[in-house]
Structure 1
Amino acid sequence: MDAEVAPSRPLTAPLRGALRLCTTVWTHASRLALDIALPTLCVACREPVAGEGVCAACWAKLSFIAPPFCPRLGIPFVYDPGPGILSMQAIADPPAYQRARAAVRYDDVARTLVHQLKYHDRTDLAPVMGRWMARAGQDLLDDADLLVPVPLHWRRGFSRRFNQSGALARSISRHSGVAVARDALRRIRPTEHQIGLSRSERATNVQGAFQVATERRAEIQGRRVILVDDVLTSGATADACARALLRARAAQVGLLVFARVVEAHRSPI
């Protein structure tokens, strides 16, 4: 007669707890060993750094945007003109979005951070960049219902493997409590890279490129939406996105970016 095989006994609670503890200890020990073997380097200058990936010297070179700035576009002023004074750009060429805010000027260190996140899969930079953005856009976020990342076309998203704007939006959401409407806005046709195009060419390039899907319109209708992107240059992409959201009956649209290009000698009217 075949010998009977004794059924296996389930693990007792103390044993399961001990195994979980061993796993946790092993995980922390492995991470510590990796940190010792491969110290974090500053993304800008490649010097060893503890913490957020930017050394003290490069941190000092980051130009955070603070008042005084245009209340509509967030463009920093060279002097304080008084409350409510708009920039010449906001008066001469107002965008579809209501207000824009940026954490930093798009200088050398900011460019490196953006490129590391965008092209080199440094998703570990998104939490700190998002935290800076949440602080810079606090007045927008206080009134917001939804965060909407500027989308990539699916072909570009496939090649990059992730959307940097979505990573930033998730970080902002964790700090602000404002929900992310992922994939509510879609890029329905591929566009050329904006680099090297004139302002008018940029606007033409993205015209009609964005759309809120019919099944997502109820999610947008009547809501106060904040667009999230990494860099603001001419504003053509953000403007096209804002127009698509307003066509879907968003109550209003704001814009929050990590960095913005600031032309020299910006002043109010």
Structure 2
Amino acid sequence: MSIGGALLPLFDLLYPPRCPLCGAGIAAQTGLCMDCWSTLAIPGDPSCRACGRPFGEAMPEGGTCVPCLADPPRHAGIAAGTLYNDTSRKLVLALKHGNRLALAPMMAGLIVPKLSFVDGAWLVVPVPLHRWRLWKRGYNQAAELGRHVARRTGARLCVDALERRKPTPSLGGLGKLARKRVLSGAIGVRAGRAATLKGVSVVLVDDVLTSGATSNACVSALRRAGAEKVVVACFARVLDEALDAT
């Protein structure tokens, strides 16, 4: 047992484990209480073979959703740990703005079951922050999630494969074309990393997937650099219609 492991009982005695959302007592320092776990929305099957969007029970397995039929994605699938609801929103905000980095292993643990096909030949790449935002926050929440995804899948991690070359405002409330204009030229492959990406299968990791505009810009940059395929992985995916069905 490591020194850290040997000290865990003493740490738990001094700081009894509490649910990070409601404060109820729990068995270990990581995780949620049963009541909070039960409020997470986990996407299930059947789902779209192209993007993982959950279907209603009447839809056949292996079908393709209408959005993907209308506009086939450049990515090779979306692996979402949860659907975005009040519980997942609180966890995302705690990780992103509350310096609760201890939540990253648990949140990554919900993504990993959707990545059973990933092994040591894959490369994990986080969605980048602009350097000003990184300096202000002190860490990239997507990189923290990516670190644990790579550790649990055995994939390699490359935290600086992508760079955000200019600061971008919030995309909330913008239409598809406006989002595309805002992100034009904003994200690219970092100089010297193209060789690392050539011919490699990539897991692109982010905390939340909303419209997909940012992840699409990242996927395009990775594919231009020669990545063979890119799977988008996120902790929470905004799909209100699937959430209503759940």
TM-score by length of 2: 0.90
Which residue of structure 1 lines up, in the alignment, with residue 114 of structure 2? 136
Gaps of 5+ in 2: none
The alpha-carbon deviation at position 95 of structure 1 amounts to 2.6
CA distance in 2, matches of 1:137, 1:201: 32
Which residue of structure 1 lines up, in the alignment, with residue 48 of structure 2? 70
2:233 to 234, 237, 256: 256
User: Which one is further off, 78-87 or 120-129?
Assistant: 78-87
Which residue of structure 2 lines up, in the alignment, with residue 177 of structure 1? 154
The alpha-carbon deviation at position 71 of structure 1 amounts to 1.4
The alpha-carbon deviation at position 254 of structure 1 amounts to 1.3
2:93 aligned with 1:81 = no
Which amino acid is 2:25 matched to? P
2:30 aligned with 1:49 = no
2:162 aligned with 1:193 = no
The alpha-carbon deviation at position 126 of structure 1 amounts to 0.8
CA distance in 2, matches of 1:197, 1:39: 44
Task: Give the CA RMSD over aligned residues.
Answer: 2.3
> How much identity, in percent, do the aligned residues show?
37
Which amino acid is 2:134 matched to? G
Which amino acid is 2:213 matched to? A
User: Which one is further off, 149-158 or 210-219?
Assistant: 210-219
Gaps of 5+ in 1: 1-23
2:54–2:242 CA contact under 8 A, matched in 1: no
Superposition map of 1:98-113 within 5 A: 98-113=76-91
The alpha-carbon deviation at position 57 of structure 1 amounts to 0.4
TM-score by length of 1: 0.82
Which residue of structure 1 lines up, in the alignment, with residue 189 of structure 2? 212
User: Which one is further off, 60-69 or 91-100?
Assistant: 91-100
1:61–1:109 CA contact under 8 A, matched in 2: yes
The alpha-carbon deviation at position 142 of structure 1 amounts to 4.9
Q: Secondary structure at the match of 1:256?
A: strand
Which amino acid is 1:255 matched to? V
1:68–1:80 CA contact under 8 A, matched in 2: no
CA distance in 2, matches of 1:115, 1:40: 20
Distance 1:253 1:130, change over 3 A: same
Distance 1:80 1:71, change over 3 A: farther
The alpha-carbon deviation at position 49 of structure 1 amounts to 2.2
CA distance in 2, matches of 1:225, 1:249: 11
2:80–2:235 CA contact under 8 A, matched in 1: yes
Q: Secondary structure at the match of 1:76?
A: coil
2:206–2:233 CA contact under 8 A, matched in 1: yes
Q: Secondary structure at the match of 1:225?
A: strand
1:143–1:224 CA contact under 8 A, matched in 2: no
The alpha-carbon deviation at position 154 of structure 1 amounts to 0.5
Superposition map of 1:156-171 within 5 A: 156-171=133-148
The alpha-carbon deviation at position 253 of structure 1 amounts to 1.3
Distance 1:57 1:213, change over 3 A: same
The alpha-carbon deviation at position 34 of structure 1 amounts to 4.5
Q: Secondary structure at the match of 2:193?
A: helix
User: Which one is further off, 218-227 or 73-82?
Assistant: 73-82
User: Which one is further off, 234-243 or 78-87?
Assistant: 78-87
Which amino acid is 1:181 matched to? C
CA distance in 1, matches of 2:134, 2:217: 19
The alpha-carbon deviation at position 143 of structure 1 amounts to 9.0
CA distance in 2, matches of 1:147, 1:34: 32
The alpha-carbon deviation at position 131 of structure 1 amounts to 1.6
